[in-house]
């Protein structure tokens, strides 16, 4: 389901990636001359296909029109001149580590993928502050040298992995007067060794998710860590943000997967002395680095659990009469601890959205079968098409156990009124995950801004939280003069013993708004407030960055903030890692 | 004390007035009896009734509702807790809960509602000239019901109130409310059950320590609210005000209906203050007698039948004003941190946090003030005030003149006066006197209070008693206008008492009075400064007071008014003092 593998090289990578949007330059949605939506390129299953229902869905959902275009401004924005620290540059040259202060390289690493960042790029707005230079260390020792030089010359370092942050974590603090160096880990992308006896692999932290999986697959292994951004995000980034993967039910989240972390800080290198699977040696120092968001140092090497590639993989889906029934089913699955590798529940809006992305079917027969299915669910089973929701499933393991497991889950689903809805629907759900980010660019071509955000919440509050957050968004939009009904949609993407992870999509047509990004940000802020008031967390896996800093005190208490601050003060007293995230 | 300049202050006060009622301009009224007089009552009672509910939910049958409550986690928790404490088996406690619920729950039936629609139409047409409702308020309510769970909070002056409310909502095809009623009604054979079938649910007057009762009760109310099955209606004042003065609010039920918002179970709750004003109250003389110590007649069906003689009298008009829905969410913004509820399971009952308690208290006072603001005042209310200042009676012409003067003053203080258009004042005065001939009479050009109906010889005690009944009945009309003059009057008293023009000295005295009266009148907790400023604004606006710099001075024009005002407040003041004297002597 992933894009064609590609081994990135510093500049080549930049060339095949969009500079003002998501993902590969050759892959994008567009409305062709006939007004039909198309996904270009060859990398994805959806590539090269036309999507006949997308236009209707798009126009009806947002009140947008394919006639009203808002294309990006093509000339690259003016970039402030670099503030170089000459002494640092001299010393760096002596090490032979490659670096650059080309405008293009610097701007490429000045942002993540927050709406305001991409919007600014498209509008040709000037970034107040961008990195003054980029360095490409090739290994752990290079990083040690760079950090030493940065300390020596008081230069600000901002680690850069895959650049997929959605928390403003990569933005340069505008008040930073020192030279800012973007430390790009992309060249540290090797698997250094695989230990089959202990099922661990030692990997350089700059490796991109899809490369890691591909390389391990060659030896018959996988990590099973598949965040939605895995095509572009890096291992070091996962560690620095406490990432979560789609299949965490089998493999665990990043904190469960790492056995050993090597991190370079201004105080020196931090690592444990052994690879014992669990230790009682005071607070786990890995947890100072996990989620540190580049404020303490650079993760250079990670020892990670690996597993043999599963023998059998099967998608599935279940349709429920409504969201309440779906949530109740997921809760029961979690209670019985029989969650498949992945289980996700899309709400009704997302279900319809998924349908809008169905490619054109060539055979009349397929059409006929689809029609029959719809008839069965809505007419014979009496599901209201405006209420029904769908859960997508992914099972993994040996064939027999998968089939057994599948039956168990479907049996539970049946007690909540769920109907099995086939493998195709399930698989499509997961493909969607990878192309959905591309859709935001299409929206922005037609006056629609969109973003996603996530939280985690105890089971008993899931329904109320979803409901209240959606209502808050709609209300805030209305109060802030958004002329069109916004799209608010959510899905339960992970289940835990005591709660779930919820992912929201939020989009609106911004025609008639003077400052759509500002409006968007106000609404998102309100939505986050609502999440917190309803018992949700500040973040499940995106992190805090600079976007959600304001809530840290309320989230982890003053003492908690104080603890983190004292660690920062000890590890990095001169604030070399000065991206100002988190605290 | 704030040191804002006078003009800023004016704006500030004006804004706060506006905040209390965003329009400040009130809606017009529509007489709903008019149509009834011109069309078939039976047809009206049998017409199609299909109200829209919250988010289009389907109405919930009374039995289903009971099941939801009995099976709720909230109730299970308390059942187990009580079972552990008492050693009784959970089944038995659960059964007890079921009995409590059975005793409490409403059994709303559309047929009963239709019966009432028919019977009340007949009764209303004989009793009242008009039943006036602000239709814009109805439209706002209709909107609110669809968007959020709604709590109707009417003022409580008469037994009529809740039947009247349901009658109006039925008339406008709005969702019928479920109404919290005192257990007293249950004693009425047949009628109690009729009320139950028209949407009343019955709660015991006191159940302080009874955990199980509280759990059943609060879960019952919350279930209805969360699901938006029906608007909840109850009386913040807790009981009928016998004096027509708003009573200080009771918080129990308000706490219950607000909690689902704090716990995130609903997005918002809309509180709708409803002001019901009667030109003549059915219970007029009953109240006066009750206040004099004659026990309240027990609610009974035979009593009700006996009371039907009231059907032969004219009770003037009723005005029902549905206020602007108040969003609990907006009120709580910045005052209550909802995330404090995150660390405790939502189904376990807890005492409200201090922050919440003071919020609920504050909200309750604000709602009662909104009720007061939208209370329609009849000319008689002004006349009663004047008559009470002249117990020995006064010339009709003087009464007319002073009524007109008081009208002007009341209007400038934003009183909601219902004064007939284009009618000469003399006519207004005489028709008011005619309607209230049981209380005042004109003889030889002098107006005075009517004292009882001396059928044969009376003892001096009886004469005194009868006189007291008249004065108290009259006072209950005067009391309706108190909220209009209260703040300026307290300021006037404060100025007289301090005999100083220093603003902070006057304020200190005002603040003393404010605290002293805080249980007698509706003074929102913590609003002393705001009330002072409002009083200043009103007195300045009407030219009674000047406020140069830090001073506050009476103008020449003011002498008359400011002498009149204190009389009103002084009555309460001296009442308080004599009570204190008596108490200290005991």
CATH number of the domain within which A491 lies: 3.30.300.330
Which residues on chain B are in Cβ contact (under 8 Å) with A554? 339
Find the mean pLDDT for residues A157-186: 96
What is the spatial distance between Cα A495 and Cα A508, in angstroms, rounded to a whole number?
29
DSSP string, A406-428: HHHHHHHHHHTT-EE--HHHHHH
Domain count, chain A: 2
Write the CB contacts of B83 (distance below 8 Å, at least 6 apart in sequence): B89, B90, B92, B93
Contacts 24+ apart (CB under 8 A), B427-434: B428/B379, B428/B403, B429/B379, B429/B383, B429/B396, B429/B399, B429/B400, B429/B403, B432/B378, B432/B379, B432/B380, B432/B383, B433/B383
B342: nearest CA partner in chain A = A535
What is the spatial distance between Cα A503 and Cα A455, in angstroms, rounded to a whole number?
7
Helix (H) or strand (E) holding A104: helix A103-108
The full length of chain B comes to 586
A296 is in an annotated binding site: yes
Could you identify the residue written with the tokens 């009464």? Answer: B399
A231 is in an annotated binding site: no
Residue B307's DSSP bridge partners are none
pLDDT in tens, A286-341: 999 999 999 999 999 999 999 999 999 999 999 999 999 999 999 999 999 999 99
pLDDT in tens, A358-385: 887 766 666 666 666 777 777 777 888 8
DSSP string, B122-187: HHHHHH-SEEEE-HHHHHHHHHHHHHS-EEEEE--SSTHHHHHHHHHHHHTTPPPPEEEEEGGGGG
A534 touches chain B (CB under 8 A): yes
pLDDT for the residue numbered A231: 94
pLDDT for the residue numbered B6: 42
Helix, strand or coil, per DSSP, at residue B262: helix
pLDDT in tens, B162-174: 889 999 999 999 9
- Of A315, A438, A503, A505, the active-site residue reads A503
CA dihedral for B15, B376, B515, B385, sign (positive or negative): positive
A410 is annotated as an active-site residue: no
Q: For A7-16, A79-88, A414-423, B113-122, which range has the lowest pLDDT when averaged over its residues? A: A7-16
pLDDT for the residue numbered A198: 97
* Residue numbers of B between 327 and 386 with CB closer than 8 Å to A: 337-339, 341-342, 345-347
What is the spatial distance between Cα B529 and Cα B436, in angstroms, rounded to a whole number?
39
pLDDT for the residue numbered B151: 97
CB contact under 8 A, B339 and A535: yes
**Is residue A574, in this structure, part of any structural domain at all?**
no
Cα B373 versus chain centre, distance: 10
**Is residue A274, in this structure, part of any structural domain at all?**
yes
CA dihedral for B137, B139, B145, B148, sign (positive or negative): negative
Which residues of chain B register pLDDT less than 70? 1-24, 56, 186, 302-311, 452-457, 556-586
**Is residue A387, in this structure, part of any structural domain at all?**
no
What is the spatial distance between Cα B178 and Cα A287, in angstroms, rounded to a whole number?
54
CB contact under 8 A, B346 and A471: no
**Is residue A493, in this structure, part of any structural domain at all?**
yes
B346: nearest CA partner in chain A = A460
A488 is in an annotated binding site: no
**A152: burial class by Cβ within 10 Å (0-12, 13-18, 19+)?**
exposed
**Is residue A329, in this structure, part of any structural domain at all?**
no
B264 touches chain A (CB under 8 A): yes
pLDDT for the residue numbered B16: 47
Helix (H) or strand (E) holding B49: none
Find the mean pLDDT for residues A557-570: 97
pLDDT for the residue numbered A7: 37
Last residue within a domain, chosen from A259, A292, A308: A308
CB contact under 8 A, B267 and A467: yes
CATH number of the domain within which A298 lies: 3.30.465.10
- Contact between A245 and A216 under an 8 Å Cβ cutoff? The reply is no
Closest chain B C-alpha to A465 CA, distance in angstroms: 7
Chain A interface test: which of B222, B339, B345 (most A C-beta within 10 Å):
B339
Closest chain A C-alpha to B333 CA, distance in angstroms: 11
Residue A204, domain extent: 191-308
> Strands A312-320 and A389-397, how do they pair?
antiparallel
A532 touches chain B (CB under 8 A): yes
A554: nearest CA partner in chain B = B339
B347: nearest CA partner in chain A = A460
**Is residue A200, in this structure, part of any structural domain at all?**
yes
Which residues on chain A are in Cβ contact (under 8 Å) with B342? 535
pLDDT for the residue numbered A261: 98
pLDDT in tens, B363-413: 999 999 999 999 999 999 999 988 888 888 889 999 999 999 889 888 888
Stated pTM of the model: 0.89
Which residues on chain B are in Cβ contact (under 8 Å) with A472? 267
- Contact between A516 and A435 under an 8 Å Cβ cutoff? The reply is no
pLDDT for the residue numbered A435: 86
Tokens of B568: 């009103």
Other C-beta atoms lying within 10 Å of the C-beta of residue B130: 17
**Is residue A368, in this structure, part of any structural domain at all?**
no
Closest Cα partner for A36 from A48, A45, A44? A48
What is the spatial distance between Cα B204 and Cα B193, in angstroms, rounded to a whole number?
16
Closest Cα partner for B318 from B372, B281, B373, B286? B281
User: A164 — phi, psi (to 5°)?
Assistant: -100, 15
Last residue within a domain, chosen from A308, A340, A370: A308
Cα A490 versus chain centre, distance: 15
A163 is in an annotated binding site: yes
pLDDT for the residue numbered B7: 44
What is the spatial distance between Cα B533 and Cα B503, in angstroms, rounded to a whole number?
11
Write the CB contacts of B520 (distance below 8 Å, at least 6 apart in sequence): B245, B572, B576
Residue B356 to residues A307, B150, B363, Cα–Cα distance (Å): 52, 20, 10
DSSP string, B88-122: --HHHHHHHHHHHHHHH-----HHHHHHHHHHHHH
A415 is in an annotated binding site: no
Other C-beta atoms lying within 10 Å of the C-beta of residue A114: 24
CB contact under 8 A, A471 and B265: no
């Amino acid at each position: 389901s992933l894009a064609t593998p590609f081994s990135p090289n510093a500049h080549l990578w930049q060339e095949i990636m969009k500079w003002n949007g998501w993902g590969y330059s050759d892959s994008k949605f567009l409305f062709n001359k006939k007004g039909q939506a198309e996904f270009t390129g060859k990398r994805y299953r959806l590539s090269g296909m036309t999507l006949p229902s997308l236009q209707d869905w798009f126009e009806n959902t947002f009140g947008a029109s394919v006639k009203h275009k808002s294309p990006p401004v093509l000339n690259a924005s003016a970039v402030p001149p670099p503030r170089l620290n000459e002494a640092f540059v001299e010393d760096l040259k002596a090490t032979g580590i490659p670096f650059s202060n080309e405008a293009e390289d610097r701007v490429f690493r000045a942002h993540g993928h927050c709406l305001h960042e991409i919007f600014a790029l498209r509008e040709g707005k000037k970034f107040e502050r961008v990195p003054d230079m980029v360095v490409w260390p090739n290994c752990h020792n290079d990083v040690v040298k760079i950090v030493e030089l940065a300390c020596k010359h008081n230069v600000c370092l901002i680690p850069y992995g895959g650049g997929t942050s959605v928390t403003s974590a990569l933005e340069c603090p505008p008040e930073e007067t020192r030279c800012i160096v973007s430390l790009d880990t992309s060249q540290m992308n090797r698997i250094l060794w695989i230990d089959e006896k202990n099922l661990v692999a030692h990997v350089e932290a700059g490796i991109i998710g899809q490369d890691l999986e591909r390389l391990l697959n060659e030896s018959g292994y996988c990590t099973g860590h598949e965040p939605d951004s895995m095509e572009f995000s890096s291992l070091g980034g996962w560690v620095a943000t406490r990432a979560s993967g789609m299949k965490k039910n089998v493999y665990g989240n990043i904190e469960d997967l790492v056995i050993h972390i090597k991190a370079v800080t201004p105080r020196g290198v931090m690592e444990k002395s052994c690879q014992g699977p669990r230790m009682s040696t005071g607070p786990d120092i890995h947890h100072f680095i996990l989620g540190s968001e580049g404020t303490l140092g650079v993760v250079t090497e990670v020892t990670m659990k690996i597993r043999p590639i599963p023998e059998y993989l099967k998608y599935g889906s279940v349709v429920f009469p409504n969201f309440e029934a779906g949530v109740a089913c997921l809760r029961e699955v979690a209670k019985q601890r029989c969650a498949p590798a992945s289980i996700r529940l899309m709400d009704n809006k997302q279900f319809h959205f998924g349908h809008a992305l169905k490619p054109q079917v060539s055979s009349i027969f397929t059409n006929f079968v689809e029609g029959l299915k719809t008839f069965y669910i809505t007419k014979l089973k009496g599901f209201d098409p405006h209420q029904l929701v769908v859960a997508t499933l992914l099972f993994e393991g040996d064939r027999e156990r998968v089939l057994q497991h599948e039956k168990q889950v479907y049996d539970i689903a049946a007690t909540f009124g769920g109907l099995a809805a086939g493998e195709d629907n399930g698989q499509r759900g997961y493909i969607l995950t990878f192309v959905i980010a591309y859709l935001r660019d299409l929206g922005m071509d037609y006056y629609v801004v969109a973003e996603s955000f996530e939280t985690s919440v105890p089971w008993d509050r899931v329904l109320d939280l979803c409901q209240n957050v959606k209502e808050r968004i709609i209300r805030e939009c209305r109060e802030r003069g958004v002329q069109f009904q916004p799209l608010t949609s959510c899905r339960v993407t992970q289940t835990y013993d005591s709660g779930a992870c919820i992912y929201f999509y939020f989009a609106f047509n911004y025609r008639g708004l003077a400052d759509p990004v500002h409006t968007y940000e106000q609404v998102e802020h309100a939505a986050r407030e609502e999440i917190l008031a309803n018992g949700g967390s500040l973040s499940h896996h995106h992190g805090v960055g600079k976007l959600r800093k304001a809530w840290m005190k309320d989230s982890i208490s003053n003492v908690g903030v104080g603890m983190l601050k004292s660690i920062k003060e000890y590890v990095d007293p001169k604030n070399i890692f000065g991206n100002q995230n988190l605290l | 004390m704030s040191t804002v300049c006078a003009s800023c202050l004016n704006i500030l006060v004006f804004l706060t007035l506006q905040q209390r009622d965003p329009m400040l301009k009130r809606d017009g009224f529509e007489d709903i009896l008019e149509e009834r007089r011109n069309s078939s009552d039976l047809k009206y009672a049998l017409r199609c009734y299909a109200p829209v509910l919250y988010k289009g939910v389907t109405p919930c049958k009374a039995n289903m509702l009971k099941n939801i409550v009995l099976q709720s986690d909230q109730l299970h928790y308390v059942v187990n807790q009580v079972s552990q404490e008492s050693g009784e088996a959970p089944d038995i406690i659960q059964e007890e809960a079921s009995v409590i619920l059975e005793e409490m729950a409403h059994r709303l039936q559309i047929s009963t509602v239709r019966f009432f629609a028919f019977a009340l139409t007949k009764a209303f047409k004989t009793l009242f000239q008009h039943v006036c409702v602000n239709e814009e308020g109805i439209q706002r309510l209709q909107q609110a019901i669809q968007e959020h769970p709604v709590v109707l909070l009417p003022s409580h002056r008469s037994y009529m109130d809740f039947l009247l409310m349901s009658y109006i909502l039925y008339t406008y095809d709005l969702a019928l409310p479920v109404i919290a009623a005192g257990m007293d009604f249950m004693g009425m054979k047949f009628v109690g059950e009729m009320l139950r079938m028209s949407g009343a649910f019955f709660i015991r007057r006191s159940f302080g320590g009874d955990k199980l009762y509280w759990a059943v009760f609060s879960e019952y109310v919350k279930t209805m609210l969360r699901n938006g099955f029906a608007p909840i209606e109850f009386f913040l004042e807790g009981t009928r005000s016998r004096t027509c003065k708003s009573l200080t609010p009771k918080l129990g039920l308000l706490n219950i209906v607000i909690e689902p918002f704090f716990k995130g179970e609903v997005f918002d709750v809309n509180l709708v203050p409803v002001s019901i004003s009667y030109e003549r109250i059915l219970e007029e003389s009953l109240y006066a007698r009750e206040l004099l110590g004659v026990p309240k007649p027990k609610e009974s069906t035979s009593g009700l039948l006996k009371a039907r003689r009231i059907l032969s009298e004219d009770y003037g008009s009723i005005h029902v004003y549905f206020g602007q829905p108040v969003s609990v969410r907006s009120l709580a913004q910045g005052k209550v941190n909802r995330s404090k509820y995150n660390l405790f399971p939502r189904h376990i009952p807890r005492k409200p946090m201090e922050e919440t308690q003071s919020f609920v208290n504050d909200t309750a006072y604000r709602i009662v003030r909104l009720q007061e603001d939208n209370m329609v005042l009849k000319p008689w209310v002004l006349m009663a005030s004047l008559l009470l200042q002249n117990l020995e009676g006064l010339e009709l012409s003087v009464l007319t003149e002073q009524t007109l003067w008081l009208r002007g003053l009341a209007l400038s203080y934003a009183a909601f006066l219902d004064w007939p258009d284009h009618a000469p004042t003399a006519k207004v005065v005489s028709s008011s006197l005619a309607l209230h001939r049981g209380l005042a009479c004109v003889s030889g050009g002098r107006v005075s209070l009517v004292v009882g109906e001396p059928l044969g010889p009376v003892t001096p005690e009886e004469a005194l008693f009868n006189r007291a009944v008249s004065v108290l009945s009259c006072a209950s009309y005067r009391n309706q206008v108190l909220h209009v003059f209260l703040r300026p009057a307290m300021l006037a008293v404060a100025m007289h008492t301090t005999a100083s023009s220093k603003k902070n000295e006057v304020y200190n005295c005002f603040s003393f009075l404010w605290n002293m009266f805080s249980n007698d009148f509706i003074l929102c907790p913590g609003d002393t400064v705001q009330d002072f400023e409002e009083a200043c604004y009103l007195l300045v606006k009407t030219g009674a007071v000047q406020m140069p710099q830090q001073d506050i001075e009476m103008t020449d024009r003011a002498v008359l008014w400011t002498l009149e005002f204190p009389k009103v407040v002084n009555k309460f003041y001296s009442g308080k003092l004599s009570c204190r004297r008596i108490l200290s002597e005991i």
